[in-house]
Amino acid sequence: MGPAQQHGIKRAEEGYPKGADTSEPGAPNKTNPWDDPDFTDARYDMHRFGQMGDGAMDKIWDGDGMGSGNHKPSSTEPGKTLFPPGTTKAQVEGWFKSIAANPDSRPQARPHGDGWVVSGTRDGITCVVTLDKDGSISGGFPVSGEGVTTNPPA
């Protein structure tokens, strides 16, 4: 992970949203959607907030063999959205951690109350990120941005 991504993740962990100018005192600071009082109880239960779940990055990148994941740029799996050519696994992990900690969207509960779905744009790539109830990242995929493609259906 490069210095810019590390800086972005650090800023997200400190509560600064993407695009906030922190170089000047008094710069406007957008509110992190997780700070909404509606999410107080949920955040209390998230003891792994923003961390990668066990095997999650491998699934996101290479797939799980059961149809989930496999979004690496070289994937040939039908119907999958792919990260742009040249994107690295470390970049995606950095984006997902940043989006999980400080999404551009209001978190949405997953069906059956087993976690959350958030979205955000990092380095021009819009992604959806899923979190388990403990706050760990369990999946995600690119939605749009320069170089994001979708393989044709089977």
Return the residue matching tokens 């991504």: 5
CA angle 107, 108, 110 (to 5 degrees): 130
Please state the rounded mean pLDDT for residues 106-127.
93
Would you place residue 28 in the very low, low, confident or very high pLDDT band (cuts 50, 70, 90)? Answer: very low
Q: What is the pLDDT of residues 53-79, one digit of tens each?
A: 889 999 999 999 888 999 999 999 999
For 56, 71, 110, the CA distances from 132, given in Å and listed in that order, are 11, 20, 9
pLDDT of res. 21: 44
pLDDT of res. 23: 42
Q: Please give the residue that has the higher pLDDT: either 91 or 16.
A: 91
For 38, 89, 143, the CA distances from 69, given in Å and listed in that order, are 30, 13, 13
Q: What is the pLDDT of residues 81-104, one digit of tens each?
A: 999 999 999 999 999 999 999 999
CA distance 23 to 1: 23
Could you tell me what percent of the chain has a pLDDT over 70? Answer: 81
Q: Where are the domains of the chain?
A: 3-150
CA distance 97 to 154: 32
For 33, 42, 43, 97, the CA distances from 37, given in Å and listed in that order, are 9, 10, 10, 22
pLDDT of res. 96: 95
Contact at 8 Å (CB) between 60 and 68? Answer: no
Terminal-to-terminal C-alpha distance of the chain = 34
CA distance 4 to 123: 10
Contact at 8 Å (CB) between 18 and 118? Answer: no
CA distance 103 to 67: 26
Please state the rounded mean pLDDT for residues 45-54.
88
